[in-house]
């Protein structure tokens, strides 16, 4: 299996048709100056939570970042970007986390890079907010916006590679993508001591949300998100490894990876044909997307989401 598929980050791979940023003109968003420093792109002050010249307490920074996620991430996984842009304290918590990450811990681990990736993804969206779709900003978000992380200049593509070990495909479900087609952001930071459990929860969250599973009752189809669909053969072989028999149903093969509520739903959908869910470029904005639409054929229909 490939680690990070091109399809999974297709939102970030298309050309903009406009001038691209280069390493010679980096957008360094992790500010390390005192409160009140100015971002050259936003032309507004960045209210940092840590005072200038004082080393940040990692526990305090992570606690503030956890509070930010709790406040901004809804149960649906959608992000309240308006809070990030309008609430000074919340914005300051994000900037303080990025300021701490610019130096980083002595030995950065996978949990560190997962948290930094997700924080940087949020921060990158703010450069283009308010927008409704990421169609015209995909390449810039993923490839062209650089952050200072652990004293290195890194973009989201770099951070994704650093967060993902060679054999753990689950990490891709933990890398929040700010569109309705991608994995939802977790409402808590990742922690090294709980990472295995949290990665399993990331897969469950994707399967139980609108990005991972929708039901087309009229056509008797189960539409599966791209991260699941591209790994359908893996799930079938994983079922055989677990139970010593080959499942003839992709839905049955997904049950070991699903949360209890989703397992019940998958069992009720026995006999439905699996198909790929079309990717959505709509911003994962809680205030923007009140009704999530999925394009089926030439029309848009509202389809029930996966169980949460």
pLDDT in tens, 195-227: 999 999 999 999 998 899 999 999 999 999 999
Q: Which residue has the higher pLDDT, 13 or 276?
A: 276
Q: Mean per-residue pLDDT for 277-288?
A: 85
Backbone phi, psi, residue 46, to 5°: -105, 115
Q: Binning pLDDT at 50, 70 and 90, where does residue 136 land?
A: low
Q: What is the dihedral of CA 195, 231, 178, 145, to 10 degrees?
A: 90
Tokens 């593509």 identify what position?
157
Name the pLDDT band for 121 (thresholds 50, 70, 90).
Answer: very high
Considering the entire predicted model, what is its pTM?
Answer: 0.79
Question: Strand locations in 66-178, DSSP E?
Answer: 147-149, 152-154
pLDDT band per the 50, 70, 90 thresholds, residue 261: very high
Residue scoring higher pLDDT (291 or 269): 269
Residue-wise pLDDT for 63-102, tens only, equals 999 999 999 998 878 899 989 999 999 999 999 999 999 9
Q: What is the pLDDT of residue 210?
A: 86
**Left if phi > 0, otherwise alpha if psi is -120 to 50, otherwise beta: which for 279?**
beta
pLDDT of residue 7: 35
Which residue in 144, 153, 172, 150 sits closest to 6, CA to CA?
Answer: 172
Task: Specify burial of residue 23 (Cβ count, 10 A radius: 0-12, 13-18, 19+).
Answer: exposed
CA 272 – CA 219 distance, rounded (Å): 9
Is the pLDDT assigned to residue 38 strictly greater than 90? no
CB 46 within 8 A of CB 90: no
d(CA 293, CA 49): 38
Whole-number percent of the chain with pLDDT over 90: 49
Q: Are 184 and 284 in contact (CB under 8 A)?
A: yes
Q: What is the mean pLDDT of residues 179-204?
A: 94
């Amino acid at each position: 299996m490939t680690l990070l598929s091109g399809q999974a980050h297709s939102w970030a791979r298309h050309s903009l048709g406009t001038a691209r940023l280069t390493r010679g003109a980096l957008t360094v968003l992790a500010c390390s100056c005192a409160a009140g420093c100015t971002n050259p792109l936003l032309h507004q002050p960045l209210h940092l939570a840590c005072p200038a010249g004082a080393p940040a307490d990692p526990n305090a920074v992570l606690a503030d970042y956890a509070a930010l996620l709790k406040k901004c991430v809804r149960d649906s996984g959608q992000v309240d970007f308006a809070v990030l842009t309008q609430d000074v304290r919340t914005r300051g918590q994000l900037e303080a986390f990025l300021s701490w990450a610019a130096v980083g811990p002595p030995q950065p681990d996978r949990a560190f890079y997962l948290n930094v990736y997700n924080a940087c993804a949020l921060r990158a969206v703010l450069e283009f907010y308010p927008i409704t779709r990421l169609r015209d900003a995909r390449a810039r978000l993923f490839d062209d916006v650089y952050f200072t992380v652990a004293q290195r200049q890194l973009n989201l593509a770099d951070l994704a590679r650093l967060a993902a070990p060679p054999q753990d495909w689950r990490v891709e479900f933990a890398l929040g993508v700010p569109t309705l087609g991608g994995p939802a952001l977790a409402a808590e930071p990742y922690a090294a001591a709980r990472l295995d459990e949290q990665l399993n929860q990331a897969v469950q969250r994707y399967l139980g949300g609108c990005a991972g599973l929708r039901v087309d009752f009229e056509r008797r189809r189960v539409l599966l998100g791209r991260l699941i669909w591209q790994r359908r053969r893996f799930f079938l072989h994983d079922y055989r490894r677990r139970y010593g028999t080959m499942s003839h149903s992709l839905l049955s093969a997904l049950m070991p990876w699903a949360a209890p509520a989703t397992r019940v739903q998958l069992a009720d959908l026995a006999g439905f044909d699996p198909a790929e869910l079309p990717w959505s470029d709509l911003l994962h904005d809680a205030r923007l997307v009140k009704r999530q639409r999925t394009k089926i054929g030439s029309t848009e229909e509202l389809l029930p989401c996966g169980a949460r």
